[in-house]
Structure formats: C-alpha cells, structure tokens
C-alpha cells in the first residue's frame, strides 16, 4: 500500500505491507493515509476492539499522534454533559454516543483526530462526524448512507478504513530502526476482572471496575509513561509520554479538571453568537477555564458572546472541584512514590489500578488508606512505544 508520506511530508517515500495478503487486517476504502494516520488507525482499532470484548459495550477512541486523547464506552449522558457537549443524546445511537464521549474527553486535543469505533458506523455517527474536524476513521463496517457522508467529508480527502473484526495478529511483532530489526512478543495480555483481584485496600464498585478496565486497556495503547483518569465510562484525562510518572499524574489531572469545569454553571452559561464555529466555542471555553486572560483575549471572547462573561475565579474553581468524587486512576507502570497518590486525591480519585512492585509499595498503600482510596495491584506492566 502506498502511503501519502512518512512521519513528515518531506519523507516522501512510505509504504505499508500486509504480512499475509490472504488475510489483511484492514482495507482502505477511501483516501490515502500517511504513516501516522495508519499508526493511529492500527493502535486505536486494537484498543476499541479489546474494550468491546472486555466490557461488552460499544467503544470509541479519538487518537492523536499515536496516543488516545479520549476513550469511552456508550454510557448515558446527563443534562449537564449534553449541554457541555452540545448534543441531544436522544438522537445518538450507541456508536455515536461512544464517540461523542471519547472526543469530548479533550476536544481541544481531538482537533484533527483519527477516529476508531468498535461498531459498524451508522448514519447518526457519520452525521456527527461531518460536524467536527477529523482526519479519518477505522471501524469494522459502514452503513451505505454513512459511507456516503464520510467519503464527502474534507472535500473527499477523509480517510475511511475498514478493519477485519476476526483478524488475529501474529504472536510476534517487529520494526526496523537505524539499520536494526527489533522483534518482540506481542503484548497479547487480555485485560479483565482477573487484573483487579489483588485488592490491597478498600473495595471496588461495579462502575469503578468498569472504569479501571477501560483505563487499563486505554493505557495499553498510550505512549509511556502514561496515567489516565476515568469517570462514568469515559477517560476524562490522559497524561502520556512523560519521563516522570508524577508529571503524568499532574498532566492527566489538569486535563480531568478542565473536563470537570466545562460543566461549571458559569462555563455552561457562556452564550456564543450563532456564527461562532464549534471549535472556536470549545477553545474559548477551555481558555476561559484556564483563566488569566489578557485584555485582548477578554475583548475577543466578549465579542463572540451575546452577553459579556464575568471571570471564573480560582476560588470558584476550587469550590466546584472539591465536590468531585468517585474518579478512577490507572497507571501503566508501578507508582513509585506517594506524591502520585496525593496529587490524584486532589482530583477526586477514589479508585486506583497499578502494577505494584515498587520498593515503596507500603508507603503508597498507606497513603491510599489514609485518603480513603481503594487500590488494586494488577501485576502487569503496560508500557507502549
């Protein structure tokens, strides 16, 4: 398969070869993917396929640069989330609902994403996709009308890939780098309830169990080091590719706080003029939450609103976030120090799944007990590069 280009446009030559032409894992139905597009497609498809198998729920992922900016399953939206996401959930099918949740984890980062769905794409999902900026999609199938909508997207440049849901990958995988071929066993560990059996403290609710499994599968396909915050069947903050685990915890927590604050009454009360584009509304809401707006930003924001916006103070944000509870946290490697636990607790975390095995496991467990956090040791590391 000839690709559009490699990692960057100046890397003109790029191809993808099927190992067994008799059983290709995917087929490009429309468009020409770049190398990164294809990496996103292959990683994201494995993710949503595994979530569907583990939880039995329609799953979706929004991928950017070989890591998910959002992952979710199809769980109902309440009125506040419908308002924050600007959707009417009564018009959403399970596949559409899963993707809306996945994209709305971090909609600023999902701008220009690659979409993955565990379900065949229906027209409702395709119509939602027509409204947002995305590069392409991978799914196990497409309804005829849905395919027509997608092929027309981006003036015909939208990439549509169909995955073979029955394809089983080889037990080993390899890649070449700087004149060397690297070969390893594929990470074929199937994440499930057995990974949460070693409960070191506290107890898990059914919802927390679902969220921890969802998060662990998400991190299996996220660039390491990685930490994820999960709530209500949706990743609400993913910190990826950091050298320090506590930096992952802080980054993911900051994203989770923005997700929570998008539901603050003052944020929901921002009424934009009808001609303001959706992505501009998203970006300005996030900027409003971040605060410390320069004078020109205040003037630009107010020019887009029907009514001027009053500031969202730091004390108002702290008061709102202090009520958050029941969040789950997952880590792809062991948590080495208790500072990760202290940071996690600040973001409403009450459930944790991590490999365990650090020299300071006792200190980490003691911190969880003191802060009322339930923690399971999975005994499985999920590094991904």
Look up the domain containing 327 and give its range: 182-260+321-377
* 251 plus 292 within the same structural domain: no
- Catalytic residue selected from 30, 37, 43, 64: 64
* 42 plus 80 within the same structural domain: yes
Per-residue pLDDT tens over the stretch 45-74: 999 999 999 999 999 999 999 999 999 999
Is pLDDT of 377 > 90? yes
- Could you confirm whether 64 is annotated as catalytic? yes
* 303 plus 231 within the same structural domain: no
Angle at 363 between CA 354 and CA 215, to 5 degrees: 15
Mean pLDDT over 224-229 rounds to 95
Q: Which residues contact 128 (CB under 8 A, 6 or more apart)?
A: 87, 92, 96, 99, 100
* 64 plus 124 within the same structural domain: yes
Q: Are 26 and 161 in contact (CB under 8 A)?
A: yes
pTM assigned to the model: 0.95
CA distances (Å), 121 to each of 37, 129, 221, in order? 19, 10, 22
Question: What pLDDT was estimated at residue 165?
Answer: 94
Question: What pLDDT was estimated at residue 171?
Answer: 94
Question: What pLDDT was estimated at residue 337?
Answer: 86
Nearest partner of 92 among 62, 114, 123, judged by Cα: 123
Domain count, the chain: 3
174 domain-assigned:
no
* 233 plus 271 within the same structural domain: no
Mean pLDDT over 82-96 rounds to 93
Question: What pLDDT was estimated at residue 52?
Answer: 97
* 236 plus 306 within the same structural domain: no
Q: What string of DSSP letters covers 232-257?
A: TTEEEEEEES-SSHHHHHHHHHHHHH
* 240 plus 331 within the same structural domain: yes
What does the alpha-carbon distance between residue 96 and residue 230 come to, in Å, rounded to a whole number?
19
> Residue 105: which region, alpha, beta or left (left: phi > 0; alpha: psi -120 to 50)?
alpha
Name the band, by pLDDT with cuts 50, 70 and 90, for residue 349: very high
- Catalytic residue selected from 225, 250, 255, 340: 225
- Could you confirm whether 8 is annotated as catalytic? no
Instruction: Look up the CATH number of the domain holding residue 192.
Output: 3.40.140.20
| Portion of the chain with pLDDT greater than 90, in percent | 94
Question: What pLDDT was estimated at residue 89?
Answer: 87
What does the alpha-carbon distance between residue 322 and residue 149 come to, in Å, rounded to a whole number?
43
- Catalytic residue selected from 65, 154, 379, 384: 65
Per-residue pLDDT tens over the stretch 246-278: 999 999 999 999 999 999 999 999 999 999 999
Half-sphere exposure of 336 (CA within 13 A, CB side): 8
Q: Are 354 and 330 in contact (CB under 8 A)?
A: yes
Question: What pLDDT was estimated at residue 281?
Answer: 95
Rounded to 10 degrees, what is the CA torsion of 324, 354, 234, 189?
Answer: -170
- Catalytic residue selected from 10, 307, 323, 385: 385
Nearest partner of 108 among 267, 317, 285, 300, judged by Cα: 285
Per-residue pLDDT tens over the stretch 334-346: 998 889 999 999 9
Per-residue pLDDT tens over the stretch 147-185: 999 999 999 999 999 999 999 999 999 999 999 999 999
| Portion of the chain with pLDDT greater than 70, in percent | 100
Q: pLDDT higher for 292 or 191?
A: 191
Per-residue pLDDT tens over the stretch 231-243: 999 999 999 999 9
């Amino acid at each position: 398969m000839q690709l559009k280009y490699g990692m960057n446009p100046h890397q003109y030559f790029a191809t993808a070869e099927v190992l067994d032409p008799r059983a290709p894992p995917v087929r490009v139905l429309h468009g020409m993917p770049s190398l990164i597009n294809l990496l996103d497609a292959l990683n994201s498809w494995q993710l949503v396929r595994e979530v569907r198998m583990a939880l039995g729920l329609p799953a979706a992922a929004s991928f950017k640069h070989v890591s998910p900016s959002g992952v979710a399953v199809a769980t109902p939206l309440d009125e506040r989330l419908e308002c924050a996401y600007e959707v009417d959930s009564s018009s959403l099918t399970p596949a559409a609902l899963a993707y809306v949740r996945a994209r709305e984890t971090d909609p600023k980062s999902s701008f220009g994403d690659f979409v993955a769905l565990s379900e065949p794409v229906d027209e409702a999902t395709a119509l939602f996709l027509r409204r947002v900026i995305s590069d392409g999609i991978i799914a196990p199938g497409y309804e005829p009308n849905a395919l027509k909508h997608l092929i027309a997207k981006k003036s015909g440049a939208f990439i549509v890939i169909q995955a073979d849901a029955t394809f089983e990958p080889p037990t080993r995988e390899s890649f070449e780098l700087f004149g060397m071929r690297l070969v390893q066993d594929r990470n074929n560990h199937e994440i499930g309830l057995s990974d949460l059996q070693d409960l070191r403290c506290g107890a898990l609710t059914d919802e927390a169990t679902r969220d921890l499994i969802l998060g662990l599968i998400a991190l299996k396909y996220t660039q390491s080091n990685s930490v994820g915050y999960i709530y209500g069947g949706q990743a609400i903050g993913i910190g990826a590719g950091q050298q320090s685990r506590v930096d992952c915890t802080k980054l993911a927590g900051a994203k989770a706080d923005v997700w929570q604050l998008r539901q603050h009454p003052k944020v929901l009360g921002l009424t934009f003029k009808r001609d303001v584009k959706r992505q501009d509304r998203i970006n300005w809401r996030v900027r409003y939450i971040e605060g410390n707006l320069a004078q020109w930003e205040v003037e630009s924001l107010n020019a887009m609103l029907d009514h001027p916006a009053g500031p969202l103070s730091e004390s108002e944000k702290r008061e709102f976030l202090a009520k958050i509870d029941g969040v789950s946290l997952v880590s792809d490697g062991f948590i080495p120090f208790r500072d990760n636990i202290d940071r996690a607790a600040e973001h409403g975390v009450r459930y944790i799944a991590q490999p365990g095995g650090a020299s300071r496991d006792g200190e980490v467990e003691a911190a969880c007990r003191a802060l009322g956090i339930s923690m399971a040791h999975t005994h499985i590391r999920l590094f991904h590069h």
